[in-house]
Amino acid sequence: MFLRHFGDLLRKKHHVFKTFSAHFQRFLAAGFSNRYSLRVTTLLPLVILRSAECRQNDGQEVKRPGRKRTMSKVKYETCLEGRAQLYLNAMKVRWEQLHKVHGLFSYQLQKSPQSRKIPGYWGFYTELNAERSLKRRRPQTIENLNPTFKPLMFNFNKVDAREVIMTIDDAYGSPEVQMIINKSPITKYHTLICPEVKKNHVQRITREALEFCITFMRSIDDKDMRMGYNSPGALASVNHLHVHLLQMPQDLYIDQAPLDELAGGYVYRLSRRAPTEGICIVFKDNDNDEQVAEKVDQLYKLAMWMCQNNMPHNLFITQDRRPGQSGNVQVFVFARSEYCVNKDLADFNVGFCELAGYIPLPDPEKMENLTELQVLFRIRTVTGDAPKALYEEITHIVEGREQSLWDQPLTI
């Protein structure tokens, strides 16, 4: 009877079979003569099975499903997660106030600028911003991806005090960050996120800056706010660490671009059907602190690898606007084979905006005549073959594979 009911179960649980056999033999030796004893004998295998399972798991940590927020209410209210929306709301109010101050911005943004969705399958969006090319500060020449800080050149220690919208220094666990107006804005609320300004970080992304930006984007309720980073050689204008925060309410091609999984269930590449190449790391709404930290580490390792290999790059950070993905944050990484030394302010340059599908242009005629084919040709010329190396490297990082001796270049 016992073998008929419990034989298959016990055969699958080899680690408890011996325990069961020993207990059962002792019970038989003691004998049983009534229905009560029979019921006990029938239940005995389940009791022993559960007991053995508990002993096997004894001392092991019980794993519970991860939650986005695992901290106490008091800690949550004092950290960036709990305060990001307050910062964003205050930033918007202050930005609009400063935008009205005569002479503070290089120019005033038009309330309804001329715009155009470029005809074609992907629908790149272009907007007229004539004054940006004429009145913005002259971009610096940043010599390489490991530049030195030059205090005599313009940096964010030299801005007018009125340009500092706010200083975030009360967010538990986050670095001090200044939010500074972009004097030559591309869109409304265009602000520069500048971590630890007085430490004079060069325009090379840090892990702390990445974590701040991703946590901020995961914690606000505003899908129109986007972030972007241009490395040296990828349209960076100032050699002092900064990330752009700006409003882009338009649905861009990047928001619906098809993705193919690369590694880990959260790292994707833009599909071969997509018009451009790049990777996308998804921070899911229910990721816990450890999962977020691991993804930030991997993203930072990838950025450092690109710097070491003299590969200019752009980041575009956005809340996921795809159906059913609300609450997720996407970090797109674009690698480039061309190092952009000097920008042509009167032409179509390629930075994080253009790679995401938002193209500000200075000339109405160019805006009206720009074709999707021209956009794609320009982007593909800039990115070249660099993305292929990016796909391989991020896969190695996520899967934990290290370079073997045979993979390393031979030096004599």
Per residue in 158-173, pLDDT (tens digit) is: 999 999 999 999 999 9
pLDDT-derived band at 141, boundaries 50, 70, 90: confident
Using CA atoms, how far apart are residues 23 and 21, in angstroms rounded to an integer? 6
Put the strands of the sheet holding 125-128 in their side by side order.
Answer: 115-117, 125-128, 358-361
Residue 214: inside a domain, yes or no? yes
**Span of 20-24, 88-92, 262-266, 349-353 with lowest mean pLDDT:** 20-24
Flag whether pLDDT at 68 surpasses 80: no
- Give mean pLDDT, residues 59-76: 57
Q: What pLDDT, on the 0 to 100 scale, is given for residue 61?
A: 37
- Please check whether residues 52 and 77 belong to one and the same domain: no
- Give mean pLDDT, residues 19-48: 49
Crossing angle between the packed helical segments 289-308 and 386-399, to the nearest 10 degrees: 140
Rg of the chain (C-alpha set): 28
Q: What pLDDT, on the 0 to 100 scale, is given for residue 102?
A: 94
- Please check whether residues 197 and 304 belong to one and the same domain: yes
User: What is the average pLDDT value for the chain, to the nearest integer?
Assistant: 85
Q: What pLDDT, on the 0 to 100 scale, is given for residue 54?
A: 43
**Is the CB of residue 80 less than 8 Å from the CB of residue 173?**
yes
- Please check whether residues 235 and 352 belong to one and the same domain: yes
pTM: 0.81
Residue 411: inside a domain, yes or no? no
Given CA atoms 225, 231, 233, 237 in this order, what sign does their dihedral have?
Answer: positive
Q: How many domains does the chain have?
A: 2
pLDDT-derived band at 275, boundaries 50, 70, 90: confident
Residue with tokens 């004054």: 131
pLDDT-derived band at 36, boundaries 50, 70, 90: very low
- Please check whether residues 330 and 377 belong to one and the same domain: yes
Using CA atoms, how far apart are residues 397 and 81, in angstroms rounded to an integer? 27
Residue 323: inside a domain, yes or no? yes
- Give mean pLDDT, residues 258-281: 96
Q: Tell which of 11, 28, 57 closes a domain.
A: 57
**Is the CB of residue 340 less than 8 Å from the CB of residue 235?**
yes
- Please check whether residues 24 and 124 belong to one and the same domain: no
pLDDT in tens, 237-248: 999 999 999 999
344 versus 208: the higher-pLDDT residue is: 208
- Please check whether residues 185 and 129 belong to one and the same domain: yes
Flag whether pLDDT at 48 surpasses 60: no
> Percent of the chain beyond pLDDT 70?
78
105 versus 33: the higher-pLDDT residue is: 105
Residue 140: inside a domain, yes or no? yes
Q: Which of 209, 205, 202, 210 is nearest to 143 (CA)?
A: 202
**Is the CB of residue 321 less than 8 Å from the CB of residue 224?**
no
Flag whether pLDDT at 29 surpasses 60: no
Residue 35: inside a domain, yes or no? yes
Flag whether pLDDT at 187 surpasses 90: yes
Residue 67: inside a domain, yes or no? no
Residue 262: inside a domain, yes or no? yes
Q: What pLDDT, on the 0 to 100 scale, is given for residue 16?
A: 46
- Give mean pLDDT, residues 31-48: 47
Q: What pLDDT, on the 0 to 100 scale, is given for residue 20?
A: 52
- Please check whether residues 11 and 98 belong to one and the same domain: no
Domain that holds residue 392: 73-406
Flag whether pLDDT at 34 surpasses 60: no
The tokens of 190 are what? 């265009």
Q: What pLDDT, on the 0 to 100 scale, is given for residue 70?
A: 62
**Span of 278-292, 311-325, 338-352 with lowest mean pLDDT:** 338-352
- Please check whether residues 171 and 306 belong to one and the same domain: yes
Q: What pLDDT, on the 0 to 100 scale, is given for residue 10?
A: 47
Q: Residue 260: which residues within 8 A CB-CB, separation 6 or more?
A: 268, 269, 270, 271, 272
CATH code of the domain in which 328 resides: 3.30.428.70
- Please check whether residues 25 and 78 belong to one and the same domain: no
Q: Which of 218, 195, 224, 404 is nearest to 295 (CA)?
A: 218
CA dist 369 → 46, 117, 126, 366 (Å): 77, 11, 11, 5
pLDDT in tens, 354-381: 999 999 999 999 999 999 999 999 999 9
- Please check whether residues 43 and 105 belong to one and the same domain: no
- Give mean pLDDT, residues 82-110: 97
> Percent of the chain beyond pLDDT 90?
70
Q: What pLDDT, on the 0 to 100 scale, is given for residue 46?
A: 46
pLDDT in tens, 312-340: 999 999 999 999 999 999 999 999 998 98
- Please check whether residues 37 and 102 belong to one and the same domain: no
Residue 63: inside a domain, yes or no? no
Length in residues, the chain: 412
The tokens of 287 are what? 């990721």
pLDDT-derived band at 139, boundaries 50, 70, 90: confident
Q: Which of 394, 376, 375 is nearest to 306 (CA)?
A: 394
- Please check whether residues 37 and 104 belong to one and the same domain: no
